[in-house]
Structures are given as structure tokens and as C-alpha cells.
Amino acid sequence: MSYDRQKILETDRKHVWHPFTQQKMYEKIDPVIIVRGEGLFLYDDAGNQYYDTISSWWVNLLGHTNKRVSAAMKKQLDTLEHVNFSGFTHPYATGLIDELREMIPEVFTRYFFSDNGSTAVEVAIKMAFQYWVNKGIKGKNSFIMLNNSYHGDTLGATSVGAVDLYHATYKPLMFDTIRVTAPYEVNPTEDYTFDAMAEYDSASFEPMRKAMEENKNSVAAVIVEPILQGAGGMKIYHPEYLNDLRKCADEHNILIICDEVATGFGRTGELFAFMHAKGFKPDIFAISKAITAGFMPLALTVTTEDVYNSFYGDIMKTFFHGHSYTANPLACAAAIETMHIIKENNYPHAKHEVMEHFHSRLRELQQFDFVGDIRYKGFVGAIDIVKSRKDKTPFDSNRNVGFEIYQESLKHGLVLRPLGNVIYWWLPMIVERADIDIIINKSIEVIERVISR
């Protein structure tokens, strides 16, 4: 197929408003026109190949255009494309839940569909709030979140966000929240974070304990990205923190929401990131992104019989929430096949050895003075780019090094899309040791080129 490059760029420049993009930065730069994806690669209109090291905003799980998922969707296309999910059900939704029930602890009995990560979080927030209303407990109108949290861009999700760059502007529109010092900010280590599995520092939980104790009557829930905060800078914390959170939440009648939108389906080395904390279970958790391996928007908010039962009965207890594309059958078909593939391949456990290799390659980056901290969990890895780790100097804030690295990476057949000066890799399950070597070697070549300018 041929593409009219000039026409695409003209329409894009004149009429498209891209997400999370300061459009002015593209005044003199053309966006890359991606026309095809296969496996680990994206291809542009000129046939250039790029390693997709960020799994296309963390949705891609099995490589691009996985043949089995695309076949399942093609079959579904001629069967049922959509039906409203209020009053009707369909085997594609229930089939997906049957699959998920085999992967998720039994205590989670209720699954509420929506269509993206932000909506799954929005549902969780409203559910937690209304849980207390339905139980007749008044005044629980607030939420606690950790510094650097990111939960999506709708207003509820924004309210529980704590990355000032993304969230501060909208403050006047937000409901009340309590922002708590993140675990890694308490007694921060001089050493590298790596997988944050150094001995658990129980002092790291104290700010959270204090906030929960002081606000127990006004807080409906604590919301966390378990173990790994993504958009806030790929920050990693010890799983034991979640067990402390559970104990404290039970003492103070506060619910726990885990946002597994990014971390779900194996990316951190366990099927869900909260599973790194043995025995820990949230009250509600949100999943999306990788659930369809990147084929279709779909999300679920998963909860317990206890939460569900508080909504059961009186009309005023109803959960008045729904989206037009709730439980879209095409998305469900993609998700069912994705679950089959995860199970048949024993993902993510079958990839632990490859993950270890990834981690050891990341640890080697200590040799570079421009590498600040190094963090990893499963197939997610990140490094902070600094002027000098030895001299403890950050990069000049007037220079957008992250953006320069992004631009340079494209010239080297790689998509690196840094978060500020944090370079990260978010790899799909199909990645092998040799791919990791190429990706890390190329990445370092790109970074060295940029910082030596």
C-alpha cells in the first residue's frame, strides 16, 4: 500500500491535536508516520523499522498484530459487534470473566466493565465512595494517594493524581484528596534502587499510617499503583508496604484500591503487581491496557462480594455508572484470546529468566556516570539521566534531554519515549535475551550521542 506522505502530514499539522503533546515542539519536526506493526517492531511509511520499547503506551503485550488475537477478532466481527450491556449479557463478556477468574484470587467475585484505564479508576473511586454511602457511614468523601501517583486523565483520576506537571492546573476542579510522601522518599537510599528488594524499611510506611489515622473518618479509600508507579517516573517500592497498608486500612475502616491498569498481566513479573506482596489483597482493583494485548480499548474494575453487596437491594443503592462501549464483544474476544495465550505460555513466569537478563544488563549501566538511579521490575526498567552521578549534578533543566533522546532514538531504529529525564523500557512478553541486548546497546549509543553534544 502506498501513502501520500505530504497529505498525511498536512492534515496532521492542520487538524490533529495529539495527546500529552506540546504541539509547538513539532513546529519544525514531522511526526513519524507509523503504518504497520509486527512483533517487536513498528514500521513507518518509508519502511523503516523501530523497536517498540515502550509497548505503545504499555498496552502491547504479545508483540504487534499477534495472529491469534487478530483471528479471534475477525471471527467476532461477523458474529456480534456490540450490544448495550445493561439488561443484556453475552458469552464474550462472561467467557472473559471465566478466563479471568482462573487468574485472579477467588475473593474477587465481581467484575464491572468499562473501556479504558481512566474509566476503570473512575469506577473504582465512585464505587469506594458509594460503598460507605450505601452502608450509611457519612463523611467519607476523601481519598489518599502517594506522591507521584498517576491514575489517568478524567477528573476523578486526575483528583487522585500527584504529578504536578500533569495535575496542578486542574486543582480547582478536583475533589479533596490527601497526598502522602511516597515510600522511597522516606530515608531515600544513596544506592541504586534496582528492584527495591533491599530490606523493607518500615519507616517508609509512617507518613501513610499518620495520614490514615488522622483522616480515618473522612477517607473512603487509599489508591495506589502497586509496587511500580509508572507515569510518575517509574518509581519502585517494596511489596511489604502493601501488607502494612492492608493492616492499617482494616484498623481504620478504609478501602484499598490498586490501580493495575499499567502493571497488570505480567509486566512486573507477577500476573498482577499486588501479587508481589504475599497474602495481600486490595478491596478493588482496576485493569485495562494489556488486557486485549493492545488491540482494543477495554477495562474492568474488580471487587469483592462485600463491596458488591453494599450496592444490592434498594434502587438508591444502584451503581449509576456505565459507558456506551461497556463490554464491547470485539474487545472481549481479543481479551479472551490474550488470556489463552498468557496461560498457554505460562506468562509471565516463563519469562523470568529473560527478565533476569534484562535486569543484569540494566545493572551494568552503573559504569556510566550519566546514569543516576537504576530501577526495574519484571519487564519494566528505568534509568535517570543525570549530568554526573559522581558529582550529584542533574542535567541542565533548560535542556530537554529526554526529548532529544526520543528524537535521536528514532534515527537508530528504536522508540525511546522518556518521562522527563527518565529513560525507560516497557517490554512485551515475546522479547528474548538477544532482543534485550540489541535494545540496551542501541539505547546507550543513543543516550551517549545526545549527552555528548
- Residue ranges in contact with ligand PLP by CB under 6 A: 116-118, 121, 150-152, 225, 230-231, 259, 261-262, 288
Report the nearest approach of ligand PLP to the CB of residue 309 (Å): 27
Report the nearest approach of ligand PLP to the CB of residue 145 (Å): 11
Which residue lies nearer to ligand PLP by CB, 145 or 208? 145
Residue number with the smallest Cβ distance to ligand PLP: 117
Report the nearest approach of ligand PLP to the CB of residue 4 (Å): 30
Helical ranges in 327-381 per DSSP H:
329-344, 352-363
Which residue lies nearer to ligand PLP by CB, 145 or 261? 261
Beta strand 371-377 with 34-38 is: unpaired
Report the helix count and the strand count for the chain, using DSSP H and E.
14, 16
Q: Is 60 in contact with 39 (CB distance < 8 Å)?
A: no
Report the nearest approach of ligand PLP to the CB of residue 263 (Å): 7
Among 419, 366, 423, 420, residue whose Cα is nearest residue 396: 420
Which residue lies nearer to ligand PLP by CB, 55 or 134? 55
Report the nearest approach of ligand PLP to the CB of residue 283 (Å): 17
Q: In whole angstroms, give the CA distance from residue 272 to residue 204.
A: 23
User: If 0-12 CB within 10 Å is exposed, 13-18 middle and 19+ buried, where does residue 432 land?
Assistant: exposed
CA distances from 350 to 210, 342, 380 (A): 40, 10, 16
Q: In whole angstroms, give the CA distance from residue 64 to residue 47.
A: 16
Which residue lies nearer to ligand PLP by CB, 164 or 214? 164
Report the nearest approach of ligand PLP to the CB of residue 248 (Å): 22
Which residue lies nearer to ligand PLP by CB, 230 or 266? 230
Q: Is 298 in contact with 115 (CB distance < 8 Å)?
A: yes
Angle between helix 352-363 and 433-451 (nearest 10): 20
Report the nearest approach of ligand PLP to the CB of residue 322 (Å): 17
Q: Is 369 in contact with 221 (CB distance < 8 Å)?
A: no
Report the nearest approach of ligand PLP to the CB of residue 317 (Å): 27
Partners of residue 377 on adjacent β-strands = 380
Q: In whole angstroms, give the CA distance from residue 259 to residue 247.
A: 19
Report the nearest approach of ligand PLP to the CB of residue 426 (Å): 10
Partners of residue 179 on adjacent β-strands = 145
Which residue lies nearer to ligand PLP by CB, 297 or 372? 297
Which residue lies nearer to ligand PLP by CB, 158 or 193? 158
Which residue lies nearer to ligand PLP by CB, 62 or 121? 121
Which residue lies nearer to ligand PLP by CB, 225 or 283? 225
